[in-house]
Structure formats: C-alpha cells, structure tokens
Amino acid sequence: MKKNDTKSILLVGVGGQGTILASKILSEGLVRKGYDVKMSEIHGMSQRGGSVTTHVRFGTKVASPVVPEGEADVLVAFEKVEAVRWLKYLKKGGRLVVNNFEIYSLPVLTGAAKYPDEVVEKLEKEVPDLKIFNAGEIAEGLGNIKAQNVVLLGALVKAMGLEDIDWESVLNELVPAKLLDLNIKAFKAGLEQ
C-alpha cells in the first residue's frame, strides 16, 4: 500500500446482527497484517432494532477513524434497507456488499408503516459494483443464522483482496470456542460469494 493510501469501509446493520463483532475481527486481521487501523462504532438505538454503524479505516497512516460521506471504498450492509440509508457514504466506483435480508421495524410490524419496495432494484440502478446475496440463509444452512455477520465478513475480505491474512487465527481469538467451527465455515462460505 502506498503512503497515505487509506482504505475506508463502512459496515451498517441493525442491533443484534453482529456488525460490531465483524468489525472487530476485520480490524484485528488488518492490524496483524501491519496496517495502521482506526475503528469507530455508532450504536444508536441498537437494543431496539436501530442502526448500528462501524467505520473501519486502514492504511500506512490513518488520521481519523470516521469515514467521510462519499469516501467509503466498500459499504457492507447487513440489512438491505440499511444499504439505501447509508449509500451516500459510498464513493463513486465503490463496492457495495448487501445482505438480501429484511428486518422489520416496530412500525412495520404493527402496520403503521410499510417496508420499502424495490430496494434491490434501487441499489442495482445506483451501484454498478454490487454484490447481493442472502447471508442469513447461508448461515442458517450452516446451523445458526447469527453467523451471517461472518459470512458477510468473508465476502468483504474477498471484495478487498485480503485473503492472505490468517483469518482463522483471528476468529480463534475473537469468537467463543464452541462457535469457532461454525464461524470458520461461515467465513469460508462468504469467501465464495
């Protein structure tokens, strides 16, 4: 990486999806590779199903952990409406990785609001470099839908060309031992997306 060639990643989701854990795993792997890494978390009303966003920036020397609007090289959305909500952060020519998964807010569940139509079509129209798949379905097939965060992490690692990092070692350090095998499988499934 060239001097001052900072890469910016924004991970967005809904409380409980594992956005922060995925960001911590990503950051640890990047540190082990020798990058200067800065991470910033914004929880919002995460306990009530609100947005959770994590900014991860890495390079030779990173000045700020916050990804400015329009400067994310990659935006990873753990829920598809979150992709639309945070799309303004993706730079022109940036890559968008989206979990084709829906989480309904309380107003939608009670009938007071409607889940937006044509989310995928909007994303396809606005972002040429789009990877969309159902990480929840993949994780559920592996035995636990909660592993969708690590499926998405695997897809991000592939999108960024970071496969040469020892991700299994990072997972071993940051996930509970009883869930390690599941998370390694989830990560590898994400690499295949």
Q: 60 pLDDT exceeds 60?
A: yes
The CA distance from 69 to 88, in Å, is 6
pLDDT (0 to 100) of residue 115: 78
pLDDT tier at 47 (50, 70, 90 boundaries)?
low
**152-182 pLDDT, tens per residue?**
999 999 999 999 999 999 999 999 999 999 9
Instruction: Tell me what pLDDT residue 46 has.
Output: 47
Using one digit for the tens of pLDDT, what is the confidence trace for 123-162? 999 999 999 999 999 999 999 999 999 999 999 999 999 9
Indicate whether 117 pLDDT > 90. no
pTM value?
Answer: 0.91
- DSSP readout, 93-145? EEEEEEE------HHHHTTSS-PPS-HHHHHHHH-SSEEEE-HHHHHHHHT-G
The structural domains of the chain, with segments of one domain joined by +, span: 7-191
pLDDT of 16 over the 60 cut: yes
For the record, the structure tokens of 72 come out as: 């994310």
**CATH number for region 7-191:** 3.40.920.10
How many CA atoms lie within 13 Å of 72's alpha carbon, on the beta-carbon side?
A: 26
Do 184 and 173 meet the contact criterion of CB atoms below 8 Å apart?
Answer: no
Mean pLDDT of the 18-34 span:
96
Average pLDDT over residues 53-67: 95
Distance CA 158, CA 152 (A): 10
User: Can you read off the two tokens belonging to residue 13?
Assistant: 């989701």
Q: Are 113 and 107 in contact (CB under 8 A)?
A: yes
